[in-house]
Amino acid sequence: MTVMTTNSVIDAKNTDARDAERDAFAGQRSDDARRTNNDPRQKQGRQNQQPRRDKRDVHGWVVLDKPIGMTSTQAVAVLKRLFQAKRAGHAGTLDPLASGGLPIALGEATKTVPFVMDGRKRYRFTVCWGEERDTDDTEGRPVRTSENRPTADSIRELLPRFTGVIEQIPPQYSAIKVQGERAYDLARDGETVELKPRPVEIHELTLVEHGDNGQSVFEAECGKGTYVRALARDMGRILGCFGHICALRRTLVGPFTERDMIPLEQLEALCNRAASGEGSLADALLPVETALDDIPALAVTRADAARLHRGQAVLLRGRDAPNTSGTVYVTVAGRLLALAEIGNGELIPKRVFNLNGLTAGPARNNESN
């Protein structure tokens, strides 16, 4: 953070007055301090204050099974506090009304966030038919209603229209920026937000359950930027019955599946055990390189690793030199070193990792292999 200061001209006439006022105030503060030190309530308050915990270097991924009602930002703050981590960030917002996988990167793992955000996502969601809402979920107010209800066959016939690359208009209540403002902020202020359609890719959309209660359960696997709430809205409009999301769970984000998810209660319990010396928070971490599963790995010698660590390119020659190009992640002695680009016979470092500190435990390392 840059702190800017300005030099001001001191008015000589008022200097003595200000000095006197300052001295008087200093005397008052001294009296206040003496009174405070003699006040048993203040002493008790100081004794009850918790010591400030120092931040530490923590590197890896935690896939939180986010509970309903918690925002993604709140989840990051909670994990940062539990791990006393210096840096943290999530790989893709999950709505407060949704549960499921929220991958949170700690420390050097934040350098790999884009690789997770660009990956596929899988959702299981429930659509309530008969009512469209301004937020496209249960939090909003109804804007359209219908007595019609779709049949399972009519829904299945519709699904191919929402599979593949389609044009989708994001919900008005979304984080997309419109002239520098978030769409949801404008919508909450009563403004009508006109968002342009944009291409998204839906790899798979399946009807899982369809009951007589006016609800249907779906599973969708989709690419970056897809809004499941918009899927429910658009299907309801075409079916002529309207609809909105009433339950949503994310089950896959990039390389992270439900098997990797950890409930918040379990993390807090692990934190308490670690504080008493009965365990380690490293057991909750997945290695930084878990996010790089789709990227080729390249092992280098210690001499080449030293050059890469200094930000210098390494010549690739000899019969063992890779004949590919593009992004690779580089390891030395089995340890992640850098993200690099191969081109013109050189290995050029782009992101170097410094994994000194708390990293994934042996159990989680074995799980990721």
> How many Å separate Cα 277 from the centre of its chain?
29
Q: 351 with 111: CB under 8 angstroms?
A: yes
Opening angle at CA 216, ends 213 and 221, nearest 5: 165
Dig out the tokens for 20 from the structure: 């006197």
Residue whose pair of structure tokens reads 């692990």 in the numeric block: 270
Q: Which two tokens stand for residue 262?
A: 């950890």
Continuous segment of H or E residues that includes residue 45: helix 40-48
39 in catalytic set: no
Catalytic-role residue among 16, 23, 32, 95: 95
- Which segments within the chain are labelled E, that is strand? 60-66, 88-90, 99-106, 121-129, 131-133, 142-145, 164-168, 177-178, 181-182, 198-210, 215-222, 243-253, 256-257, 261-263, 297-299, 314-315, 326-332, 335-343, 346-352
Instruction: Compute, in degrees rounded to 10, the torsion defined by CA atoms 275, 258, 164, 93.
Output: -20
Going by their DSSP bridges, the two strands 346-352 and 142-145 should be labelled as: unpaired
Catalytic residues: 95
